[in-house]
Amino acid sequence: MEVAIQTLLHCNFSTGCNLLVVTVATKETDGFRRFMRSARHFNYTIKVLGRGEPWKGGDYMTEPGGGQKVRLLKAGLQEMEEDKVVLFIDSYDVVFASGPKELLKKFQQTRHKVVFSAETLIWPDRHLEDKHPHFREGKRFLGSGGFIGYVPNLKEMVADWTGEDSDSDQLFFTKIYINPEKRKSINITLDNRCRMFHNLHGSLDEVVLKFEDGQVRARNVLYDTLPVVIHGNGPTKLQINYLSNYIPTVWTFETGCSVCLEDLRPLSGLKESEYPLVVIGIFIQQPTPFVSVFFETLLKLEYPKNRLKLFIYNQEQHHEVAVSSFLKDHRKEYQDVKVIGPEENMDRVASRNLGLDMCRQDKDCEYFFSVDIEVVLKNKDTLKILIEQNEPIIAPMITREGRLWTNFWGALSADGYYARSEDYVDIVQGRRVGVWNVPYLTKVYLVKASLLHEELSNNDLFSSGTLDLDMAFCHNARNKGVFMYVTNMHTFGRMLSTENYQMSHLHNDLWQIFENPKDWEERYIHENYTKIMRDKLIETPCPDVYWFPLFSDIGCDHIVQEMENFGQWSGGRNTDTRIQGGYENVPTIDIHMTQINYEKEWQKLLLDYIAPITETMYPGYYTKAQFDLAFVVRYKPDEQPFLRPHHDASTFTINIALNQKVLDYQGGGCRFIRYNCSVEAPRKGWALMHPGRLTHYHEGLRTTAGTRYIAVSFVDP
C-alpha cells in the first residue's frame, strides 16, 4: 500500500521530489502514526510495505531479527523507478526532523550511492569489529534501521538475500559493508558524523534539543550536526518519545503545542445517548481524607450519568459509611454499579484487573477511566476533555499542592524507576503546556477500550515481578508500543496527601489542616472568607467588635459532632483540673481543644485565618496566636443557659457561632456591658473578634430553648 503526500509540479532532485521513503509496517501502531505525522509535516512521499502481514521478524530489541524487512524491500524495489532515491527506514521509533530537500542535499554531498546510518555500538556480532573500516572521525559501525540509496544500487545490495524472516537484517547488511569488494561495487558508506541519521542507542549524550526561529531540531553536540532522521533504536524508545514531544515543531516556545488540537474526538453536539460509554474504576486502597468530598465531586462531573458505569473497590472498612451513603442516594443514576468491599478480601492487583475486565467484557464500553480515591478533580469537564483528546491512554496532570509531585514521570531511571526529565519542572509549573508522551502515569488516567481487546488484552496487566501495580501497568503498555500521554492544557485538580491520616476521631478530616490545607480550607472555611477584605464583609456590631465569616456549615457541624462524640463535657464548676492552677473564675460547660488533641490544628487556624484580620483591624498589633484556653461551650436552658458578666484572660477573643439561632436554639447572644451593645442573632460560622481585658466587659445572654454551641479562644493571654 502506498501513502502518497502531495507532489509538487516540475519537481527535480534538489526539491526532494525524487525521493521515496519506504518503510515496513505490518501494523498501524502509535509509533507509526507519529512517524506518518512527521512525514506529512515535511511533505515526504511514503510507501508502506507489509501492511496487514503477520510480523515474523522477531523481537530484535533483545535478539537479532528483521529479515522480513529485507524480503519485503527486495520485492518492493522491483516495482520502483530506476532514477528514484529510496530512503529505507524503520517507522515505529523514527521521526523526521527536517525535509527531503535537506536529506537529498546531504546524501549528494557524500558522493556515494548508498549511505547507511552509523552506530557507536556494534551489533549483533562483536567479532566483526576489526573488519569495519576506520574513519578519521565519527562512528564506525553500520546501523540497518536507516539507509538511503539509488534504486539500482539497492537492488544489487539485496539481490543475494535468501534468508528467513527471522534472520538478522543488521548482520546481512554488515557483512556486505565489511566486504571491500561489495562495499566498493555498491558504493556504500556510513553517515558517520550523523548528518542524516542519528541512532540514539549508545549516543544519547550526544543529542540536545535545539530551539531556533520556531523550529525544533536534534543537535548532535559531538559532531555539531543536525540529523534529519532520529531513530530510537534498541532500548531508547523512551528517549525518542521524549524528543518527539518537540520534533518536528510539535512544541515550540513561539507557538506552544502545534498538534494538540489535531485528530480530536469532539463531543459537543452529541445527544446524551450518543456519548461514549465509560466505566469509571474507583479505587480505595488506603485510609484517605475527604472521601465523601470525592463522591460529591464525582457527582458533579459534566457527563451523562446514564452513559457511566461504576466499578468501586474499597479495601478500607473505615470508608464503608461514605461509600454506602453515596450508593444509597445515587446508585440508580448510573447505568450500572459493581462494588467490591473489604469483606471480599480482594487484593489490589486483582481489583485493578477486574476493573479493566468490566470494560473489556462490555461490548458497548469505549473507555475505562481509572481514578484513585486521593484524586481531587476540580475540573468538571475532565472526562470530556480526555475523551476529546483521542489518545490511547491519557491522564490529566494533577499535582500535590505546593510541591513538584505529580501523577506522571517525565523519564525513567535505568532500573525503571523515577527520573526527572529536563522539561518536567516546566511542564508541572505550566511554562510548557501541551499533551506529552510520558513513560509513567498513576492515580488517574483514561484507557481506550479498543486497547483492552488488542495490545492490552492480557487479563493481568498489573503484575510484573517487583514493580508496584501502576509501574507494572505502564511497563506492560510500553512493551506493547502503546503511548501514554499527560495533558496540562487545563487545570484539572490535585492529589491528596494520605500521610499521617488519623482514624481515631469521628471526623478525621478536621485534622488535615497541615497535610492537605487546600482541601481542608475548601471543606471547612466559609465560602466568603476570601472576600472579607475585597468586599468589606467585616461588620462592626459594637465598638471594636468585628464580625466576619469563618467556618462553613459543615465545619461548624463537624466540630459540634466531634465534641458531642467525645462527650466529656465539664460540669461548669469553678474547680477545673484541666487548667493551670485548677480554678476557673467564670466556668462554662465546655470541652477544651486539648482534650481532643486539636490544639495544634486550632493554632494553625488562628495563625492562617484570624491573624491576618487581627493585623488589619487592630493596626500595629501582630499576634502569634498563642492561647492557653480554646474550647467549645454548650448552652442549654436546663444545663447552663447563660454566662455572667466577665473579662476574658486574653489580648483578644474569638467567639465563633457553631449553630443557627431559631433553627437550633432560641435566645442567646453576647452583650458588651460598657457599650450597652448586644449581638443577639449570631450567624452560624461567623466569628466575633473583640479585645479581652479592660474594655470589653461582657456576658453570655440566656438561651431559652434548644442547644447553643460556640467555639471560644482566648488569644495571646
Q: Copy the grid coordinates of residue 402.
A: 505546593
Strand pairing class (207-212; 197-199): unpaired
Of 97, 127, 126, 124, nearest to 194 by C-alpha is: 97
**Cα(111)–Cα(99) distance, rounded to whole angstroms?**
20
Number of other residues whose CB lies within 10 A of the CB of residue 389: 19
Question: Which contiguous run of DSSP H or E holds residue 460?
Answer: none
The secondary structure of residue 115, as a DSSP letter, is E
Using CA atoms, how far apart are residues 590 and 570, in angstroms rounded to an integer?
Answer: 5
The catalytically annotated residue of 195, 307, 494, 708 is 708
The span from the CA of 498 to the CA of 318, in Å, is: 14
d(CA 259, CA 257): 6
Q: Give dist(CA 419, CA 411) in Å, integer.
A: 5
Instruction: Output the CA–CA distances (angstroms, integers) from residue 202 to 94, 233, 425, 473, in the order listed.
Output: 16, 9, 26, 27
The residues near 475 (Cβ < 8 Å, ≥ 6 apart) are 416, 464, 467
Q: Residue 159 CB: number of other CB atoms within 10 A?
A: 11
Task: Name the grid cell of 122.
Answer: 556494534
Place of cell 467585616: 538
DSSP lists the bridge partners of residue 679 as 670
Instruction: Locate 337 and state its grid cell.
Output: 454499579
Q: CA dist 483 to 40, 238, 439, 447, 496, Å?
A: 20, 10, 8, 11, 27
Question: In whole angstroms, what is the distance from residue 427 CA to residue 437 CA?
Answer: 12
Alpha-carbon distance of 197 to 145, in angstroms, equals: 10
Residue 431's Cα: distance from chain center in Å? 16
Q: How many residues does the chain have?
A: 717
What cell was used for 213? Answer: 526561529
| Angstrom distances, CA of residue 346 to CA of 280, 354, 469 | 18, 10, 14
Q: Is 148 helix (H, G, I), strand (E, B) or coil?
A: strand
Write out the three cell numbers for 42: 515535511
For residue 217, indicate whether it is catalytic.
Answer: no
CB 330 within 8 A of CB 297: no
Residues 631, 711 contacting (CB under 8 angstroms): yes
Nearest to 311 by CA among 379, 368, 366, 272: 368
Residue 252 C-alpha cell reads as: 515550540
Q: For 302-336, b where at least 16 C-beta lie within 10 A, e where not — what string?
A: ebbbebbbbbbbbbbebbeebbeebbeeeeeebbe
Task: Check residue 568 and report its DSSP letter.
Answer: -
* Distance from C-alpha of 592 to C-alpha of 343, rounded to nearest angstrom: 38
Q: How far apart are CA 283 and CA 372, in angstroms?
A: 5
Distances (CA, A) of 492 to 71, 196, 301, 393, 397: 50, 41, 12, 17, 7
Catalytic (active-site) positions = 708
